[in-house]
Structure 1
């Protein structure tokens, strides 16, 4: 169970599925957002995207509010309940385990385990290095973490059976020698005689990318190579700004990582793990609100990524990462992350191999009640996501009365 919110959750699910398939298991993949009724998944995805791109301050407030409460608000709980029956049908009667790479999917799976409707083990693979309380779902049988830092955070939040299983990435993300690095630079038309900083901003190309690119270029410690994902407008702006190496969505990210000397990231998700597997040192800079900032702090605590908060620190850190001892230490730490533990596939395979398929208990509510519930779910989601995103856009732009109104609205209804 994953979700097409950006590419990190799906990317982790892809890597897990590929390796489980190689271990002899048949794997079914489902997008949790498709299981929400009345196209609410589409609304949720769009609202999240609008908040990140148009009103990041609003996203930060929602993220902080749910950190305090530790659970979804009433509107979101109604939405999640509407996915329970569809999720059970998706799991099917012959499954041996369910793995979630998305926190809201874990919430539904945990509820189904608690009330006895789902009879097989459920595991959550924590794709982030920082653990938001929504990742910890009562009823989930085990939580798998890539490193002791997120494992400790999950344990502190009350997660069940937390295990440091190690990370998982696609098999093509591997460290290479200097000869292959030169070949990769030729493939992308990159110079051989310059330090290259790979600047990424997720599949949506969000955050202060133009500012980061300009500051990296101006500090003269590395040449920026920028990946904008599906944000074609951003790519056009960067080309107009005079940047030479600008890409949109990249199908061969492993090869591009081999060509570069350092990764500069702003979200701390799957791309950072892929860089570690590729022997690429990582720097966090101008991180997006919410999970971007907490992930940067957790990666810094783990000794896996340097966090730079001011443009004045760019030159010295980039120089040390690309040519100095700091870069060597970061490469070694990233590669050790993959060699120290077998990865989450071993833990999932052990649970699945020891489980017999169990029939699911399906409750069929009264038809009228079901229709009323669906209408309520649609109304609450439309209000929270359709109205909430414009509210937060106005909140970010206005410093008068409207910020207080918007803040009160979101705090009261925990949207």
Structure 2
């Protein structure tokens, strides 16, 4: 793109998936000559409301995860869906600030940001093209806004669901994963194993539970170890208490926050996950098979159903089927689709053409 254009990308630090997708979208747009402003939707809410929302969601997953099934369902129906959409507009004053001067493109990777931006578009206060990137394989009502110019879906199932929920234009885009996540080159696997202290010929299952390390991680770890089909390597993310409990229980391979996930993935043989989030895509891009086991309630179970249906990631129903799944899992790689940055650049081009024609 010969002339630099400005894009505003808005995500949220709830987990790592929304921010991870936003970072990679931003990187790809920069490579095409865009100037990028990134913002966290939670910081645009009044006072400390955003951090309180993040903390409340985190506590719910830790203390009463089963309630998230009910809450996610309720948020998809009136009146709670309407209340959530109305509450999202509390960020409108700060959104107006970050959109001044008006950019050439706005991209949202977080549902409440999408709703707030859609409301600005409806009132004529957002005139730039608005794109929504769907970060999950399953699609909830709140992630779709009828006022967006484009929804980018990670698979055909998600695209169909978004259309049913009122998205006017949906395109299947290749999931955004940083370029470091790729199959190992000759010698890389052995070097990665030495770096992380993993014995040469054993089979290792990487147990992941998002950046917060939530869910039945201890049960998953015990069940994987009991199969004898693979040795668990557990990533606890920022959950230091979980890491301490696992180490006290004698689990030999426990990691906290890992800065070099591409190398750790190359050191392992299979990934066991419970939420269908960003690490799932990173593992598939790295050529590793992934299985879902003991899913998180709510979005975790919804994602597991979709990933299983479309043949990307099998959902293992119980401990009895786990050993077989660990031994037989194969990686299909990432789903095909157009590069999201190409679609977003084309969206800006369409807007320029419309203005020129007027």
Give the TM-score normalised by structure 1.
0.80
**Contact 2:85 2:112 survives alignment (8 Å):** no
The structure with more helix, counted as a fraction of residues: 1
**For 1:193, which of 198, 201, 224 is the aligned residue?**
201
- The answer on 1:53 being equivalent to 2:49 is no
Residue 206 (structure 1) aligns with: 214
- Measured in 2, the distance between the counterparts of 1:50 and 1:176 equals 37
Q: Which moved more, 1:157-166 or 1:307-316?
A: 157-166
- The structure number with the bigger radius of gyration is 1
Which residue of structure 1 aligns with residue 241 of structure 2?
A: 233
Match of 2:337 among 338, 341, 345: 341
Q: Deviation per CA, 1:301-357, whole angstroms, max 9, x where unpaired?
A: 111001001000011111112xxxxx1xxx2x224x2xx323211111111244359
Q: Which stretch shifts more, 345-354 or 299-308?
A: 345-354
Task: Tell me the residue number matched to 1:351.
Answer: 347
Q: Name 2:229's counterpart in structure 1.
A: 221
CA distance in 1, matches of 2:21, 2:100: 22
Does residue 133 (structure 1) correspond to residue 141 (structure 2)? The answer is: yes
Q: Give the alignment of 1:301-380 within 5 angstroms.
A: 301-321=309-329, 327=330, 331=331, 333-335=332-334, 337=335, 340-356=336-352
When you count strand as a share of all residues, which structure comes out higher?
2
CA distance, structure 1, for counterparts of residue 150 and residue 82 of structure 2: 24
CA distance in 2, matches of 1:266, 1:143: 26
After the TM superposition, which residues 15-414 of structure 1 pair with which residues of structure 2 at under 5 Å, given as runs?
Answer: 15-69=24-78, 72-74=81-83, 76-177=84-185, 179-321=187-329, 327=330, 331=331, 333-335=332-334, 337=335, 340-356=336-352
For residues 89-139 of structure 1, the C-alpha deviation after alignment (integer angstroms, 9 at most, x for no partner) is 112224111000001100011111111111111010000000011111121
Taking structure 1 as reference, are residues 71 and 19 closer, same or farther at Cα in structure 2, changes over 3 Å only?
farther
Other structure's SS at 1:56 match? coil
Give the TM-score taking structure 2 as reference length. 0.93
Kindly provide the CA deviation profile for residues 195-247 of structure 1, in whole angstroms up to 9, marking residues without a partner as x. Answer: 11010010110000000000000011000010000000100111111111110
Aligned residues: 345
Tell me the equivalent position of 2:15.
6
Question: In structure 2, how many angstroms separate the alpha carbons of the residues matched to 1:192 and 1:69?
Answer: 55
- Offset of residue 155 of structure 1: 1.4
Deviation at 1:19, TM superposition (A): 1.1
Deviation at 1:15, TM superposition (A): 0.7
1:68 is displaced (CA, Å) by: 3.1
Contact 1:95/1:357 (<8 A) preserved: no
Question: 2:74–2:81: 8 Å Cα contact kept in structure 1?
Answer: no
Give the superposed CA RMSD.
1.7
CA distance in 2 between counterparts of 1:346 and 1:81 reads 30
Report 1 or 2 for greater relative contact order, CA contacts < 8 Å, sequence distance ≥ 6. 1
**Alpha carbons of structure 1 residues 357 and 4: separation in structure 2 relative to 1, 3 Å:** farther
Unaligned runs of 5+ in 1: 322-326, 359-415
